[in-house]
């Protein structure tokens, strides 16, 4: 089968592992820098051209779209979908996952467990906003933040007011979220492929750090999930329309709560700490499902 990994950097661990897993299974798989693709948008013969070569022979794509390139990357994915090419994650699902507010609204509508979250545009009702999530301590998050950047733990009402006023003074969109103290600076990453959790790990933040991101000094280990955690991860990915997803959860006193659903989850951490062949699971899923062609998600939304 002819496959393409849409990635800007061939040296990334995740990209190299997908290429390795695809070739190991006998497939013709290549890396396509989606920002160097040009598109012909037409009702009769839509096309994607990469380095002068039409890409109509590609049977399936695996998007690895970075946050900063979401707009054009998803446009390229949609174009492949228009051509009848199977995408393991539809463009619309990737777009949903990148809008943190919309993602939370979708998850809430589907009944997926979440930390209580508030949002307001005006700074004239900060006290009401703080009260809506159960008071302090609470977490303030930039909607555009990634990898733990733009996330602040506020332990007092005064600190929360100052941070919210500062962010809004810069015209930054923020969420205010219940602080799940019982998670003790750790979270769970469940890696979903299709209707299975193929690997899972627990990430623990560095001493004194409430964020569990590995690049911020945290560490990780393989972790077995409870039945509820597994169900929550699968429900979250399904709600977003993602077939490959990294679902980040906290263990709260009320059960698992979802913090984020990542449409381009990295493979290095999960494979390193669990020993699972996650790249192989993705390739196997793509090959098994590519015969269905492009998703009609583009037309429904």
Which candidate, 120, 163, 121, places its Cα nearest to that of 139?
Answer: 163
- Residue 172 class from Cβ within 10 Å (0-12 exposed, 13-18 middle, 19+ buried)? middle
What was the pLDDT predicted at 185? 84
Co-location of 84 and 124 in the same domain: no
pLDDT digits (tens, 9 = 90+) for 58-76: 999 999 999 999 999 999 9
Which residues constitute the domain of residue 42? 2-96+286-300
Co-location of 68 and 217 in the same domain: no
pLDDT digits (tens, 9 = 90+) for 14-33: 999 999 999 999 999 999 99
Inside any domain, residue 205: yes
Token readout for 299 is 């037309």
- The CATH number of whichever domain residue 271 belongs to comes to 3.30.470.20
Co-location of 103 and 210 in the same domain: yes
Taking the model in full, what pTM does it have? 0.90
Q: Count how many domains the chain has.
A: 3
What was the pLDDT predicted at 209? 58
What was the pLDDT predicted at 124? 87
Inside any domain, residue 280: no
Co-location of 158 and 247 in the same domain: no
Q: Is 210 strand, coil or helix?
A: coil
Inside any domain, residue 38: yes
Co-location of 171 and 227 in the same domain: no
Co-location of 292 and 144 in the same domain: no
What was the pLDDT predicted at 208? 59
Question: Quick one: which H or E segment has residue 123?
Answer: none
- pLDDT means per 10 residues in the chain (301 residues)? 97 98 98 97 91 96 95 97 96 95 96 94 90 95 72 93 92 92 91 98 75 63 97 98 97 95 96 97 96 52 38
What was the pLDDT predicted at 300? 42
Co-location of 28 and 54 in the same domain: yes
Which candidate, 93, 166, 160, places its Cα nearest to that of 133?
Answer: 160
What was the pLDDT predicted at 299? 40
């Amino acid at each position: 089968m002819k496959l393409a990994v849409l990635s800007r950097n061939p040296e990334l661990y995740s990209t190299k592992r997908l290429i390795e897993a695809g070739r190991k299974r006998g497939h013709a798989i290549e890396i396509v820098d989606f920002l160097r693709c040009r598109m012909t948008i037409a009702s009769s013969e839509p096309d994607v051209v990469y380095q002068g070569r039409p890409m109509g022979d590609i049977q399936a794509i695996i998007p690895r779209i970075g946050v900063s390139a979401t707009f054009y990357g998803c446009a390229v994915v949609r174009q492949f979908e228009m051509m009848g090419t199977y995408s393991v994650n539809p463009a619309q699902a990737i777009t949903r996952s990148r809008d943190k507010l919309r993602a939370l609204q979708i998850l809430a509508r589907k009944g997926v467990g979440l930390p209580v979250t508030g949002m307001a545009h005006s700074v004239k009702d900060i006290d009401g906003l703080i009260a809506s999530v159960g008071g302090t301590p609470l977490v303030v998050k930039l909607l555009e933040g990634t990898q733990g950047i733009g996330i602040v733990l506020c332990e007092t009402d005064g600190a929360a007011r100052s941070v919210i006023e500062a962010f809004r003074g810069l015209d930054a969109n923020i969420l205010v979220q219940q602080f799940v103290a019982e998670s003790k600076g750790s979270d769970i990453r469940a890696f979903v492929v299709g209707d299975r959790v193929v690997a899972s790990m627990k990430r623990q933040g560095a001493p004194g750090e409430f964020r569990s991101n590995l690049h911020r000094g945290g560490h990780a280990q393989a972790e077995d999930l409870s039945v509820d955690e597994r169900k929550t991860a699968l429900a979250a990915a399904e709600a977003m329309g993602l077939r490959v997803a990294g679902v980040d959860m906290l263990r709260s006193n009320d059960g698992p709560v979802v913090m984020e659903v990542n449409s381009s989850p990295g493979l290095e951490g999960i494979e390193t700490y669990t020993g699972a062949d996650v790249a192989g699971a993705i390739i196997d899923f793509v090959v098994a499902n590519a015969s269905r062609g492009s998703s009609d998600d583009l037309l429904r939304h």
